[in-house]
Amino acid sequence: MPAAVGLISEASLALNETFSVITSRAQQRFEDQDWRGQRADSLERLDLHTSAVRQAEQELRGLLAADVTNRDVWRSMKTEYAAAMDHERSKILSFTFFNSITRRVFDTSGIDPEIEFIAQRVVTGGSTTPVAHLHTYDEGNLADLIKTMLVDCEFAIGFRDVDGDVDRAVELIERRVPHDIRGIEMIRSVHFREQAAYRVGRLITGSESIPFVVALRNTPRDIMIDAVLIGESAVSILFSFTRSHFHIDHEAGYELVPFLQELMPRKRPSELFTALGYHKHGKTLLYREILDHLEVTSHRFTTAPGTPGLVMLVFAMPDMDLVFKVLRDRFKPPKRTTRREVKATYELVFKHDRAGRLIDAQEFEHLQLFGRRFEPELLEELLAECGSTTSLDGDLVTLEHVYIERRVTPLNLVVHHPDAAYGPDVPAADRTAAVVDYGQAIRDMAVANVFPGDLLLKNFGLTRHGRVVFYDYDELVRVTECVFRSLPESPPGHEMDETPMWGVGPHDIFPEEFGSFLGLPPGLRDAFIEHHGDLLTQRWWRGIQKRIAEGELIEIPPYSDEFRVDR
């Protein structure tokens, strides 16, 4: 057993070291404007945990032979492993690694506390983030503080106009913060993602602290401040579940989570771990957060609001900001996709640039929940429609495969039933603004090489920040795989034929038809056409295809123009 414990310990520490090595490249990638290298690093890092677990499991099977499924052996190994990792800084990640191996070996359903570590609640509050990770700037005026903070980034290349940038940042801050600012407290490590770098922290006034981020861009003419984000909402969008993960050159980036949650108290710890790249531990914490919530609520799971899907059965709880999506056993017409193809699209979204518009979905296997927490009608439907992956044993429901996502308000409800908002944190929607942002969401996904496949409002949702996002991936394809065409004219006498007289290929798309099936009321349809009429032309889509084919990397900034500095 000591050899087996040592094997897992060494594999876990090696995983964390490799994670750190990949992450540490981010600053050099930023300085070199090596955006493709940064993207490759992101993809490599996403696969690390799964690859390391698979390799460790294979070696353990050879080492333990018949004892690899001996529960007594694993109980002892768990105790020895806990002792061996107790002094390690990364022990919470190491426990998640151990659990991943046991679950593969035993194909565990639910939680097996005898051979698994139970995720601990994350203690929040700035006092639990080591002071060494933070730096307070409080000497001089606001311009002095910001300039010193920028210099402390220690980039190998300079700023284009540091004094001018500082002046512009101060002007934007003073417009938005009416109080005297006494200091700024910043995370020492720079956050890198895609083509930007971020200094993350808070402004300190006499009465409050305000979340604060400086966004930096490296242009052909050196580094400049691109935006200054102020307030919880703006910073929360930066750390959104619709974005790729950050790269932070820090040996224990997860220790920043308590401080980050002070900045964004409505974000779950699991979301923040995931945003920092620790997505497997984030998934572990998410399950713990679900169980904790079930202990304090009397609500039951019920069918999620919105139009029932033909591919997924979706359920939720009124006071929980999550939805659970289970694949149906059979997909009703006109759906022609397969279970394998649907899973492949979710895997694509997980690894793709989500452009701030595609919701991250956590994939769970063998998830167990108590049957008494389900409305009877929902449980009956799950067993009838998803029986191949749903079972009931006494009061225990096992979902063999399920996706869990953040809940949003379906856009068709916002547009057609604006008073039918469901659950907490749903803003009073301005329907016109939502429809305009719906068009922008389609644009943003397109430049990220994503075509939703099905543009109906029911497949989009509105977040608590008023942003439109997409969540139905069963028909999602890459823009570069589509053939965008203009509608040919029908021959004389055949204008009213239901079946077109011209051939239609499997990947053919006619943007001119979008307007007829979006389902927008006349006034809102006019607003959509005013802002996004070019989306109904093949010319616009072919233009995007051309830019992608030429290798252009088109980034969607995670902030609106109101936060950009004036130039």
pLDDT in the model for residue 507: 81
Distance CA 64, CA 101 (A): 13
| Domain that residue 384 falls in | 302-408
Non-local CB neighbours of 483 within 8 Å, separated by 6+ positions:
505, 507, 508, 509
The answer to whether residues 136 and 278 belong to one domain is yes
Q: What is the pLDDT of residue 397?
A: 97
Residues 477 and 390: beta-carbon distance below 8 Å: no
Q: What is the pLDDT of residue 519?
A: 83
Helices (H) and strands (E) in the chain, counts: 18, 18
pLDDT of residue 423: 41
Quote the tokens at residue 197.
Answer: 């770098």
| 356 inside domain | yes
Position 427 in a domain: no
Note whether residue 544 is domain-resident: no
pLDDT of residue 16: 94
Query: Is residue 420 in a domain?
Result: no
Compute CA distances 324 → 79, 369, 453, whole Å: 34, 12, 22
Q: What pLDDT is stored for residue 10 in this prediction?
A: 96
The pLDDT score that the predictor gives to residue 129 is: 67
According to the model, what pLDDT value does residue 334 have? 86
Same domain assignment for residues 176 and 282: yes
pTM for the full model? 0.92
492 part of a folded domain: no
360 tagged catalytic: yes
Alpha-carbon gap, residue 230 to 238, rounded angstroms? 11
State the Cα–Cα distance between residues 93 and 107, nearest whole angstrom.
20
Half-sphere exposure of 92 (CA within 13 A, CB side): 20
Side-chain-side CA neighbours of 104 within 13 Å: the count stands at: 17
CA atoms within 13 A on the CB side of 414: 30
- Residue 486 counted as domain residue: no
Residues 271 and 215 in one domain: yes
- Domain boundary pick from 79, 108, 137: 108
Q: Would you put residue 274 in left (φ > 0), alpha (ψ -120 to 50) or beta?
A: alpha
Residue 437 placed within a domain: no
Instruction: Give the integer Cα–Cα distance in Å for 109 and 392.
Output: 13
Residues 259 and 356 occupy one common structural domain: no
- Considering the domain architecture, whether residues 310 and 270 belong to the same structural domain is answered as no
| Model pLDDT for residues 390-437, shown as the tens digit of each residue | 999 999 999 999 999 999 999 998 888 766 544 434 444 588 999 999
Number of structural domains found in the chain: 3
Q: Are residues 24 and 52 in the same domain?
A: yes
Name residue 564's beta-bridge partners.
227
* H helix intervals, 448-556: 514-517, 522-532, 538-549
Phi, psi of 364 (to 5 degrees): -115, 145
Q: Same structural domain for residues 88 and 164?
A: no
Q: How far apart are CA 499 and CA 514, in angstroms?
A: 18
User: 161 and 287, same structural domain?
Assistant: yes
| Sole residue written with tokens 């353990």 | 60
Residues 98 and 171 both lie in one domain? no
From 389, 408, 427, give the residue that closes a domain: 408
Q: Cβ of 480: how many Cβ atoms within 10 Å?
A: 11
Catalytic residue among 41, 360, 437, 444: 360
> Where is 63: in which H helix or E strand?
helix 35-64
Q: Which amino acid is at 150?
A: L
Q: How far apart are the first and last CA of the chain?
A: 64
Q: Are 152 and 177 in contact (CB under 8 A)?
A: no
CA dist., res. 50 & res. 502, Å (int): 48
- In a shared domain, residues 314 and 372: yes
Residues of the chain with pLDDT under 70: 1, 120-130, 418-429, 489-503
Give the helix/strand (H/E) hosting 308: none
Q: Is residue 555 part of a domain?
A: no
- Give the pLDDT of residue 53: 97
The verdict on 283 and 308 lying in the same domain is no
Q: Are residues 23 and 145 in the same domain?
A: no
Which of 349, 383, 408 is where one domain is finished? 408
In sequence order, which residues have a C-beta less than 8 Å from that of residue 15 and are 6 or more positions away?
A: 48, 49, 52, 97
| Nearest 10 degrees: Cα torsion 280, 282, 285, 290 | -110
